[in-house]
Amino acid sequence: MKVSLISLGCPKNQIDSEWMLGRLKEQGHRFVKPYNANILIINTCAFIKPAVDESFELIEEALVSKDKNGPKIIIAGCLVERYGSELLRKFDGLNGIIGVNRIMDIGDVVDKVCRGENADFSARPDRLSFPEVERSLLSPRHYAYLKIADGCSNRCSYCKIPSLRGEYRSREFSSIIKETSHLVLQGVKEIVLVAQDTTLYGIDLYSKTRLPELLKELSKIKGIRWLRLLYAHPAHFTPELIELISENEKVCKYVDLPIQHISNRILSNMNRKISEKQIRNLIEKLKNTIPDLALRTELMVGFPKEREEDFEKLVEFIEEVKFDWIGIFKYYSEDGTKSSLLSDQIPEEMKEERYNILFESQRETSFEKNNSFIGRNLTCIVDKKVKGKFECRGERDAPEIDGLIYTSGDAKVGEFINVKIEKADDYDLYGSQT
């Protein structure tokens, strides 16, 4: 069959898409653009309302443009976990649905819908496991996301993810090493470790966290240049991990540390299991131990009961810490979450106002930080060539979410080059190769 897949949401969902494509490739299917496809798979996201709306819109669009010869449409991902078989009733013309833990059955779903039958593979299997199939990467060949665990048991009061992706489960150590070695043979030089909570890796399978050990083993794989850590939960960040990041030259001096807020009252209502003091101590230790550390965080504004003084505290805190990058989210009251039952929900306009204040404050910090790189030589990886210019990233830039470095001259996509920074703007840097 001629298959096309649209992948929405986070890198963890992208990996699921890559595993599904890998399975279909194994079964002889080939990949084409959506307008040429017999089978269109939409791997959806559904953790907050805007993501649900985007998924619904894309499904409706696909169904509208589908005529009798159009592609069979299959929905995968978190939307299936959130709504299940109801999706087949809601969307007339939809052919199949498949749950996040059934992705290795994608071939059977394709066979079934090609026989003209509807396929409902939304039921969660008894035994959850990680695919061992070779992924068809959707990222450029020189970097790849690496899933080390899935699901989450942290139960933050605002979060749907535990109900969508299940309890926290780590992947076998050996399976991660094996897949990474294979990815490197395919030309991957940068590995980006992801999970809902990477810092808890191993706790369920080995009764202890093994992330430092895993990073150490991964760093022994020849050909890897950068190991990058995303989704590190501040409550589970160990001194061993700080030491490993600071000492291992292949581990990027980069930490993505979602703190969500800094007011103790809000942190406890969020069930983040950490206090302001502990967050401050951790950040201080990280900055003192890891030279040149790039620090990213995620923050939420408009959580129920967020008073003016809680929000001011958050603004003061980011102006004090000066994060390199911040992802800002407005709180959404999601059905089935504990926080949706809280009183004092914040009006949308006030959420918007607080979002803009935080955004503007961080834009200034980002501009200031970027300017401090002028005159410095940075090792960069070349992601792509756009209109004769090379779009690159440094050690402080994760793919798709942080800043970029632009340069010209002679280089190849996937290559490491040195760039002397000459100019900076709010988020990006510009320079010449040295």
Using CB under 6 A as the binding rule, whether residue 197 contacts ligand SF4 is answered as yes
Among 156, 358, 419, 424, binds ligand SF4 (CB under 6 A): 156
Which lies closer to ligand SF4 via its Cβ, residue 139 or residue 196?
196
C-beta of 155: minimal distance to ligand SF4 in Å? 6
C-alpha 255/C-alpha 232 separation (Å) is 7
CB atoms near residue 419 (< 10 Å): 26
Which lies closer to ligand SF4 via its Cβ, residue 155 or residue 423?
155
- First-to-last alpha carbon distance for the chain, in angstroms, is 48
Residue 190 three-state SS:
strand
Question: Interacting stretch for ligand SF4, rule CB under 6 A, among 81-89, 148-156, 238-246, 381-389?
Answer: 148-156
Instruction: Confirm if 39 and 74 have CB atoms less than 8 A apart.
Output: yes
Among 48, 152, 229, 232, binds ligand SF4 (CB under 6 A): 152
C-beta of 71: minimal distance to ligand SF4 in Å? 32
C-beta of 210: minimal distance to ligand SF4 in Å? 18
Which lies closer to ligand SF4 via its Cβ, residue 152 or residue 193?
152
C-beta of 188: minimal distance to ligand SF4 in Å? 26
Which sign, positive or negative, has the C-alpha torsion 107, 108, 109, 115?
positive
Using CB under 6 A as the binding rule, whether residue 263 contacts ligand SF4 is answered as no
CA-wise closest residue to 149 among 160, 161, 137, 136: 161
Instruction: Confirm if 177 and 148 have CB atoms less than 8 A apart.
Output: no
Using CB under 6 A as the binding rule, whether residue 154 contacts ligand SF4 is answered as yes
C-alpha 74/C-alpha 42 separation (Å) is 6
Using CB under 6 A as the binding rule, whether residue 196 contacts ligand SF4 is answered as yes
Using CB under 6 A as the binding rule, whether residue 233 contacts ligand SF4 is answered as yes
Residues binding ligand SF4: what is the number (CB under 6 A)? Answer: 10
Question: Interacting stretch for ligand SF4, rule CB under 6 A, among 70-78, 138-146, 159-167, 359-367?
Answer: 159-167
What one-character DSSP code corresponds to residue 304?
Answer: T
C-beta of 229: minimal distance to ligand SF4 in Å? 15
Q: Which of residues 160-179 bind ligand SF4 (CB under 6 A)?
A: 161-162
Which lies closer to ligand SF4 via its Cβ, residue 112 or residue 165?
165
What residues contact 152, with CB distance under 8 A and at least 6 apart? 159, 161, 162, 165, 167, 168, 196, 197
C-alpha 92/C-alpha 89 separation (Å) is 7
Question: Interacting stretch for ligand SF4, rule CB under 6 A, among 150-158, 356-364, 365-373, 397-405?
Answer: 150-158
C-beta of 334: minimal distance to ligand SF4 in Å? 11
C-alpha 231/C-alpha 77 separation (Å) is 20
Locate all alpha helices (DSSP H) within 94-172, ordered by sequence: 106-114, 161-165
C-alpha 17/C-alpha 138 separation (Å) is 8
Contact footprint for ligand SF4 (CB under 6 A):
152, 154-156, 159, 161-162, 196-197, 233
